[in-house]
Amino acid sequence: MELLIPGLILVALMVWASTKIKKHAADAFEAERIETGSYSLQKPEGFLHVIGDEEHEFKAYSRDFGEGDNTGVRQATIELDVFPGGHLAEVRDVIKSSAAEARDRTGGKNICELEADETANEIDLKAFYKIVAAGDAVYRLRFAVLAEHTDDYLRKIEETLDSFIVQTN
């Protein structure tokens, strides 16, 4: 009996802590506005923002994984890279030359959107780019999706690309 009360208290604390952890984990995958001094974008629901990524200015990945041969591979990733002193045409040409096929979606003097068929580690991807030249830097936003899941992400892709704004101060 003397162990029953502390045991019940311990179980109650564990249930409470577990509930809090699950809630915080679920909140991390909610849609979120990301704003810095140089850019802003809307992270879509179902994506986790990787804080402190050393390879990219911004990175997020989907909660869901691929199936079959792509088990263990995230269905979608979002990456933002900044190229100081770069030129929009150079960044666009690198994408086009490395993709199996690339199509211009929109184009202009300082903004370009591309759709590309890519392969990485024998995995077929559909990548959507928004490239923005601002000041002395070029910003490249890449939304890559496992090819078989492209239709599932089209709305999120459009919303993310449309929400991406570079501050031109």
What tens digit of pLDDT does each residue of 111-127 get?
999 999 998 888 899 99
Smallest CA-to-CA distance from 131 within 161, 152, 151 is with 161
* Residue-level pLDDT at 50: 85
* Residue-level pLDDT at 79: 96
Structural contact between residues 134 and 9, judged by C-beta atoms closer than 8 angstroms: no
- Polymer length of the chain: 169
Structural contact between residues 76 and 144, judged by C-beta atoms closer than 8 angstroms: yes
- What does the pLDDT look like over 65-106, one tens digit per residue? 888 888 888 999 999 999 998 888 899 999 998 888 888 787
Domain 31-166 superfamily per CATH = Mog1/PsbP, alpha/beta/alpha sandwich (3.40.1000.10)
Give the C-alpha separation, 137 to 100, whole Å.
26
- What does the pLDDT look like over 121-165, one tens digit per residue? 888 999 999 999 988 899 999 999 999 999 999 999 999 999 999
For the chain, the domains span: 1-30, 31-166
Of residues 90 and 5, the one with the higher pLDDT is 90
- What does the pLDDT look like over 12-54, one tens digit per residue? 777 766 666 666 655 566 878 988 889 999 999 989 888 888 8
* Residue-level pLDDT at 61: 94
